[in-house]
């Protein structure tokens, strides 16, 4: 009884703190739109004299077309290869000179570039980033070297990584027509046949201010930032973007399976169900929130259902994880993946996963389980504010999926209203075989290739 009361009071206190954190976000965050369509979002956070500057282009691998998979990511690499004013490699040298940390990343939904600097250096990195928004100019020789680097990246992260191979096949099997079926890094053959002109075409099509969102977080004054952003990014003209075809995945009509053989010791299993995502303009749809909470009930902490039953009690798998992200541009999967315990088969693991899911579908979940998850979500809202870069990431990725940063707090509030019955309902409705894809890794001994030598 005592602990029950304590839990209630924890939740209450956390709610108070969350509403504080929420109103802070609204007060400290400012949104502007330049005349050329570029969106600017500034969050002031004055705890330390540093700033994160990111530009997000709404062009990811889902915008690629057949034969050119990987071009979004290749262009990301080429963005460091020179403009009309800044020669190849010079961008990184200039950022380094002001003490900056920088990088870039490409996803299915977007491509983003960032620098983290001491606050007095912000103008310099804005100037550099704005320059390469419209003046990129690399030569073919640079492209030919860099495409080799990208192929090395694919070898490192995918070809020699059985988990990545499994995931790649899972996506290519689960989706028939959605561009989500292609890996972000691209298929090797497409990389081998890519031309510098493919990357240039991509750049000319998508790298426009009206397809970009600049996110700046840290120790800045929003009004002063706006002046600088207008000065540099404002000079670029808007341009009509290519038409985006919806490419909506047709409904799945039965279970799919795929098997991968690769060098490994343990078998792996991935089960992925087609589930809805949160749609912009439909923030009150309870199902995506319920799916997020279902993820956490199954895998959100050390004693969550799947870890408890499969790893600790039945000892059928060595590790298990659940993935779902309700905020994305493309279709979503509810993914359960596991590595087998010694001597256990994927059939046994699959049976155990199904049993745990059936139990949840039939008996529902406990109010206390859900409360535990909600507390966790609330406390994470405080912890996430420790990182200004993390805040810029959250704002940018939410915007790229078609939402506003202002929706983030609303989503979190909405999450708190979901009931155990709603969580049970999405499990029953969506975790069914019609929408299921199963991928298994069949481990192979690595081919012996001679003896060790000194």
Give 61 or 307: the residue with its C-beta nearer to other proteins. Answer: 307
Judged by beta carbon, residue 61 or residue 217, the one nearer other proteins is 217
Contact criterion met (CB below 8 Å) for 391 and 218? no
* Shortest Å, Cβ 29 to other proteins: 14
In whole angstroms, give the CA distance from residue 56 to residue 211. 8
CA–CA distance, 273 with 334 (Å, rounded to integer): 5
**Closer Cβ to other proteins, 16 or 227, answer by number:** 16
SS3 14: helix
Q: Are 269 and 304 in contact (CB under 8 A)?
A: no
Give me the least distance between CB of 21 and other proteins, in Å please.
9
- Considering beta carbons, is residue 300 or 331 the nearer one to other proteins? 300
Query: Where do we find the tokens 């499969």?
Result: 310
CB atoms within 10 A of CB 87: 13
Q: How far is the CB of 268 from other proteins (least distance, A)?
A: 10
Please state, in angstroms and rounded to a whole number, the distance separating the CA atoms of residues 389 and 142: 31
Q: Considering the complex, what minimum distance in angstroms separates the CB of residue 72 from other proteins? A: 17
Measure the CA–CA gap between 19 and 212, rounded to whole angstroms.
30
Which residue has tokens 């007060």? 27
Cα separation, 378 vs 66, whole angstroms? 42
- Comparison of 48 and 65: residue with beta carbon closer to other proteins: 48
Q: Least distance in Å: CB of 294 to other proteins?
A: 16
Q: How far is the CB of 51 from other proteins (least distance, A)?
A: 9
Instruction: Judge whether 309 and 349 are in contact, CB under 8 Å.
Output: no
Q: Which is nearer to other proteins, 51 or 133 (CB)?
A: 51
Q: Where are the beta strands (DSSP E) in 119-266?
A: 212-218, 256-263
């Amino acid at each position: 009884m005592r602990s029950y009361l304590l839990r209630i009071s924890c939740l209450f206190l956390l709610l108070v703190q969350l509403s504080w954190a929420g109103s802070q976000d609204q007060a400290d965050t400012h949104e502007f739109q330049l005349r050329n369509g570029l969106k600017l979002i500034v969050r002031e956070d004055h705890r330390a004299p540093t700033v994160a500057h990111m530009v997000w282009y709404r062009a990811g691998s889902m915008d690629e077309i057949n034969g050119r998979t990987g071009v979004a990511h290749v262009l990301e690499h080429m963005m460091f290869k020179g403009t009309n004013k800044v020669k190849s490699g010079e961008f990184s040298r200039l950022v380094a000179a002001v003490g900056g940390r920088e990088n870039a990343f490409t996803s299915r939904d977007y491509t983003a570039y960032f620098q983290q600097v001491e606050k007095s250096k912000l103008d310099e990195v804005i100037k550099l980033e704005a320059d390469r928004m419209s003046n990129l100019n690399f030569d073919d020789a640079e492209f030919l070297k860099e495409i080799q680097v990208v192929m090395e990246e694919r070898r490192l992260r995918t070809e020699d990584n059985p988990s990545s191979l499994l995931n790649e096949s899972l996506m290519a099997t689960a989706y028939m027509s959605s561009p989500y079926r292609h890996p972000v890094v691209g298929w090797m053959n497409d990389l081998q046949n890519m031309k510098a002109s493919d990357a240039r075409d991509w750049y000319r099509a998508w790298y426009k201010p009206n397809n970009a969102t600049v996110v700046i977080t840290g120790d800045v004054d929003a009004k002063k930032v706006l002046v600088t952003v207008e000065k540099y990014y404002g000079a670029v003209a808007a341009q009509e973007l290519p038409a985006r075809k919806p490419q909506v995945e047709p409904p799945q009509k039965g279970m799919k399976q795929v098997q991968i053989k690769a060098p490994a010791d343990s078998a792996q299993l991935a089960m992925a169900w087609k589930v809805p995502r949160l749609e912009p303009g439909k923030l009150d749809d309870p199902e995506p929130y319920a799916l997020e909470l279902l993820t956490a009930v199954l895998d959100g902490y050390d004693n969550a259902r799947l870890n408890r039953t499969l790893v600790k009690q039945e000892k059928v798998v060595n590790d298990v994880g659940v993935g779902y992200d309700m905020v994305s541009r493309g279709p979503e999967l509810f993914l359960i993946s596991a590595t087998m315990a010694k001597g256990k088969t994927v059939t046994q693991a699959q049976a155990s996963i199904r049993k745990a899911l059936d139990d949840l579908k039939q008996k529902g979940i406990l109010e206390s389980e859900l409360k535990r998850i909600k507390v966790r979500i609330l406390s994470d809202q405080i912890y996430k504010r420790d990182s200004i870069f993390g805040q810029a990431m959250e704002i940018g990725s939410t915007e790229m999926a078609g939402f506003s940063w202002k929706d983030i707090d609303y989503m979190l509030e909405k999450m708190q209203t979901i009931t155990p019955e709603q969580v049970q309902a999405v499990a029953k409705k969506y975790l069914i075989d019609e929408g299921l894809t199963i991928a298994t890794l069949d481990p192979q001994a690595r081919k012996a290739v001679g003896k060790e030598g000194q």
